[in-house]
Amino acid sequence: MTSYKSRGTQEWKTPALLMTFLNKLLNGGQYRVVGGFIRDNDEGYWGKPVTTQHTAKSTLLIFKRI
């Protein structure tokens, strides 16, 4: 992950913190995947629903709160 520097010598790892937060939020059972854009080699397509297998290939996932 890339570190982003703020003023002085303090470093923030914002992307890592954001991803940790999102993973906890979205995998907490209150949201489900309803669709996503799935990359397949040099092409892509919209998938609805998105299977667990396709989640790793997705570049965009849409979640809905249950």
pLDDT at residue 3 is higher than 60: no
Rounded to whole angstroms, the Cα distance separating 58 from 47 reads 9
Q: CB burial class (10 A; 0-12, 13-18, 19+) of residue 50?
A: buried
Name the strands in the sheet holding 58-65, side by side, starting at the edge strand that comes first in the sequence: 43-47, 31-40, 58-65
Give the model confidence (pLDDT) of 38-47 as tens digits.
998 889 999 9
The position carrying tokens 């489900």 is 32
Give the model confidence (pLDDT) of 21-35 as tens digits.
988 999 899 999 999
52 or 11, higher pLDDT: 52
pLDDT on residue 47: 92
The predicted model scores a pTM of 0.64
Rounded to whole angstroms, the Cα distance separating 52 from 58 reads 10
Q: Are 50 and 33 in contact (CB under 8 A)?
A: yes
